[in-house]
Structure 1
Amino acid sequence: MSFLEVRGLSKSFGGVRAVNEVSLDLKQGELLALIGPNGAGKTTCFNMLYGQLKPDQGSVKLNGQELVGQTPRKIWRLGVGRTFQITATYASMTVMENVQMALISHHRGIFSVWPPASRRHRPEAKALLELVGMESQAERAASVLAYGDLKRLELAIALAHSPQLLLMDEPAAGMAPKERVGLMQLTADIVKERNIGVLFTEHDMDVVFSHAHRVLVLNRGEILADGSVEEVRANPRVQEVYLGGGSTFGEQGAGEEASGKQEGLADA
């Protein structure tokens, strides 16, 4: 049974229809990849799901509760976490302190002056850092972390309020190929262990096809395809959008052509 139900989501900017009648379902324990070329509307969808943009029409329900019209803060409280294309961490704080701040907010302790923030929720923070493989770097400043480690830290922060749904906007962007695979495998393990649903965007098709349970393809704001990895990989319309026809996803040589076209793809 789907716990996230999106129906008829649409958004225009001036005369441009950025998202048009998008509907999707997500089950707990499922990794759903949202892919598409430049201007497909992926980030616009994410911003509507998280309350940063109000849709012109449509419905977003989490466990039957309407999210449209709610603030990002309220949506976060209802169990939705998010990571961003560009990591959002406190550079001046340690790795541990970054996670502690997320936990303090979750426990509604932002305005409490005692005990000091540095002493609060340390066991919980330590457990989250162990979960993402960052426990050995707990006392390092976030400002000196490698980019892949920052992505892991951001994932720990996003998990601090035990979300039911995690929105990951290009989680592997800017990472080396080996780091991309490692982060998505970690995410897949967490999805299975915690039974959460993950909706993620990604331009690396190897990452998508290796880890997604299902793939939804957007093109010019509309759903082009929705199905299993095998169905989407073999879909001629998807091949046309990504590769201009010809090669099939996954064939030897197709990866280089795809990566050349996909490298640097941005969203509208």
Structure 2
Amino acid sequence: MSAILEVREVTKTFGGVVANRGISLSVGRGEIVGLIGPNGSGKTTLFNSIVGQHPIDEGSIRFEGREISHLRVGEIARLGLVRTYQQTRVYTRMSCMRNMLISMPHREERLRDLFARFPREAYEEAEMLLDFVGLYPKRNLPAGELSFGQQKLLEFAMALMNRPKMLLLDEPTAGINPTLINGLVDRLLRVNEDLGLTLLVIEHNMRVIMNLARYIYCLAHGELLAEGTPDEIRDDQRVIDAYLGAH
């Protein structure tokens, strides 16, 4: 399967601290790939580099064969590469529906006009996605009235509103009630299988990532430690030692 995302020998430093050193990974189109590692291993820094939140020092990042390491966040998002965050970034005073509508492409322009009119099709798509994540009954509530787990589901739906080709999910199950986790995982599998959406997922819940991802990369101390199938990663002594050494 052809790669939709290729990261090659990427290095990122902050002052004298090396956050990522020579990291390479590849994500095939339509795949679900996991990115794991102890806290401070450089996972989120790598995500930030991929989506253009800060420039890399060395290496190459290609999306659909195009070099994107010099592009800005908005430019990369318009190419179809979108991410979510550990801490949700919803607009708490706006309704869930309004959050969805301003998440459409070119949302920067929409934000400047809080009374912008949206086509009926946009409302229909937003309602469909809110229903997909189980939030349709709460569509008119301020997002701030949702639980943290529900806000994560809303952020997931907002990301889908961009019609991405690939989603980078940063700890999607962190802080979510266990009863919601299975539902979220099921929805991730469904958008992958039904829509062909490619997923790269940072996740600390090993049960979740082992059941979700088909291939996993493990970082430690800013470097690539191991890669392989879930079974290979589960049995890799280097991965076991890295996690045991982090506690």
TM norm structure 2 = 0.92
| Amino acid corresponding to residue 55 of structure 1 in structure 2 | I
Determine the C-alpha separation between the residues in 1 that align with 2:118 and 2:206: 41
Map of 1:28-47 to 2, 5 A cutoff? 28-47=29-48
**TM-aligned CA distance change 1:113 to 1:186, over 3 Å:** closer
| Structure 1 residue aligned with 2:145 | 144
- The unaligned stretches of length 5 or more in structure 2 are none
Aligned residues: 246
| Structure 2 residue aligned with 1:200 | 201
Offset of residue 78 of structure 1: 0.6
Determine the C-alpha separation between the residues in 2 that align with 1:102 and 1:38: 30
Offset of residue 188 of structure 1: 1.5
- The DSSP-based 3-state class of the residue aligned with 1:89 is coil
Offset of residue 119 of structure 1: 6.7
Offset of residue 77 of structure 1: 0.5
Offset of residue 17 of structure 1: 1.5
Is the CA contact (8 Å cut-off) linking 1:129 and 1:156 kept in structure 2? yes
Is the CA contact (8 Å cut-off) linking 2:100 and 2:126 kept in structure 1? yes
Greater Cα shift, 133-142 or 107-116: 107-116
Offset of residue 104 of structure 1: 6.4
| Structure 1 residue aligned with 2:213 | 212
Q: Does 1:14 align with 2:15?
A: yes
Q: CA RMSD in A?
A: 2.2
Q: In percent, how many aligned pairs have the same letter?
A: 37
Offset of residue 110 of structure 1: 5.5
| Structure 2 residue aligned with 1:49 | 50
Offset of residue 88 of structure 1: 0.5
- The DSSP-based 3-state class of the residue aligned with 2:199 is strand
Map of 1:154-165 to 2, 5 A cutoff? 154-165=155-166
- The unaligned stretches of length 5 or more in structure 1 are 245-257, 262-268
Offset of residue 105 of structure 1: 3.2
Determine the C-alpha separation between the residues in 2 that align with 1:208 and 1:101: 30
TM norm structure 1 = 0.86
- The DSSP-based 3-state class of the residue aligned with 1:159 is helix
Determine the C-alpha separation between the residues in 2 that align with 1:84 and 1:21: 24
Greater Cα shift, 6-15 or 149-158: 6-15
